[in-house]
């Protein structure tokens, strides 16, 4: 584990560094996409700035409201306690508001943003893994108890064969992490970062082939929702209580993301696309006419 990049004379956490790497990478990717789509790259800078401010604020507030046992206003500036879906929701509201004010095509703008959302989340989870901040999964020996052989419930309880009894392929301990443990656990940050880098690759490959603006963002929401729901099956429930239908907040948000993504993709693919927005590429802006000099 590598919780801190340096500790003297100033402590700099690995997680914060990886967040910075994620945002800088997102800035580069989004600026490149904006140029390809004939969008002023200055909007990429503003988008990432809004994502940083409102993403971190939303993540922090969501954690403090839904998971933290006790908190104070000083916790808002601490490096611990961030919940991804809260940041996604608040940052989305702020960014949509900005696009509306600037009269930019929201569907095209979010299509351009989609791959960067996957990479940003992936780099954040790399930071979780390096710092050992406690954001890992269940103990490998307890996984069968957590899963409770849910497939067996469809048949007779005496049926003993269950997929969840297959020994885990990859487990590790975090003895030197910020939240140390010597127990072998599922390294869920590794799972999530790997899946999100894969999602980025898929979105990046298909981004030029989709004619309907909005579909790419729908695909991101579907992929992100499925992955989030899946990874929750490997996570413990400490400080994360069950809500509706014995589902935790992250599982509910994952399912809502999936439903929203499916609806958005279908709606975008069935509506008429203006010719100047096909494939999410805007018309090249015409140069402004040169001003004539006044004769003295």
Residue 97 counted as domain residue = yes
- Banded pLDDT at 291 (limits 50, 70, 90): low
Extract the runs of DSSP E, i.e. beta strands, from 112-242.
Answer: 172-174, 181-185
pTM: 0.83
pLDDT of amino acid 225: 96
pLDDT for 116 beyond 90: yes
- Banded pLDDT at 150 (limits 50, 70, 90): very low
Residue 170 counted as domain residue = no
Structural domain total, the chain: 1
pLDDT for 79 beyond 70: no
Q: Which long-range contacts (CB under 8 A, 24 or more apart) does 55-62 make?
A: 55/87, 55/88, 55/90, 55/91, 56/82, 56/87, 57/87, 57/90, 58/86, 58/87, 58/88, 58/89, 58/90, 58/91, 59/83, 59/84, 59/86, 59/87, 60/86, 61/86, 61/90, 62/86, 62/87, 62/89
Q: How many CB atoms lie within 10 A of CB 242?
A: 11
Show the domain range for 209: 4-136+189-280
More confident residue, 199 or 64: 199
- Banded pLDDT at 163 (limits 50, 70, 90): very low
* The token pair that represents 198 in the structure block: 């894969």
Residue 100 counted as domain residue = yes
Give the pLDDT confidence of 171-197 residue by residue, as tens digits: 888 998 988 998 888 899 999 999 999
Integer Cα distance of 39 and 281 in angstroms:
8
Integer Cα distance of 8 and 45 in angstroms:
32
Q: What is the Cα Rg of the chain in Å? A: 22
Burial group, residue 126, by CB count within 10 angstroms (0-12, 13-18, 19+) = buried
Residue 77 counted as domain residue = yes
Q: How many CB atoms lie within 10 A of CB 287?
A: 6
Integer Cα distance of 295 and 287 in angstroms:
24
Residue 264 counted as domain residue = yes
Residue 15 counted as domain residue = yes
* The token pair that represents 93 in the structure block: 């509201």
User: Would you say 28 and 203 are in contact if contact means Cβ atoms under 8 Å apart?
Assistant: no
How much is the mean pLDDT over the chain? 83
Question: Tokens 């010719």 map to which residue?
Answer: 275
pLDDT for 292 beyond 80: no
Query: Among the listed ranges 12-16, 165-169, 173-177, which one has the minimum average pLDDT value?
Result: 165-169
Give the pLDDT confidence of 18-53 residue by residue, as tens digits: 999 999 999 999 999 999 999 999 999 999 999 999
pLDDT of amino acid 279: 93
């Amino acid at each position: 584990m590598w919780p801190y990049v340096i500790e003297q004379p100033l402590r700099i956490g690995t997680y914060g560094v990886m967040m910075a790497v994620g945002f800088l990478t997102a800035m580069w990717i989004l600026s490149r996409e904006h140029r390809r789509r004939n969008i002023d790259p200055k909007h990429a800078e503003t988008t990432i700035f809004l994502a940083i401010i409102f993403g971190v604020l939303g993540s922090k507030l969501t954690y403090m409201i839904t998971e933290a046992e006790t908190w104070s206003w000083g916790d808002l500036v601490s490096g611990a306690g961030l919940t991804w879906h809260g940041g996604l929701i608040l940052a989305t509201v702020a960014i949509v508001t900005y696009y509306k004010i600037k009269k930019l095509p929201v569907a095209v703008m979010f299509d351009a943003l989609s791959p960067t959302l996957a990479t940003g989340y992936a780099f954040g989870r790399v930071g979780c893994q390096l710092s050992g901040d406690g954001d890992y999964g269940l103990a490998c020996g307890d996984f069968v108890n957590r899963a409770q052989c849910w497939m067996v419930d469809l048949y007779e309880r005496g049926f003993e064969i269950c997929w969840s009894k297959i020994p885990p392929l990859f487990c590790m301990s975090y003895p030197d992490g910020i939240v140390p443990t010597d127990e072998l656990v599922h390294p869920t940050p590794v799972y999530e970062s790997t899946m999100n880098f894969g999602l980025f690759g898929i979105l990046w490959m298909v981004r030029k082939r989709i004619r309907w603006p909005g579909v790419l963002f729908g695909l991101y929401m579907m992929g992100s929702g499925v992955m989030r729901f899946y990874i929750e099956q490997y996570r413990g429930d400490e400080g994360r209580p069950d809500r509706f239908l014995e589902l935790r907040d992250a599982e509910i948000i994952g399912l809502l993301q999936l439903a929203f993504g499916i609806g958005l993709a279908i709606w975008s693919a069935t509506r008429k696309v203006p010719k100047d927005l096909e494939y999410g590429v805007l018309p090249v802006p015409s140069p402004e006419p040169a001003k004539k000099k006044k004769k003295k």
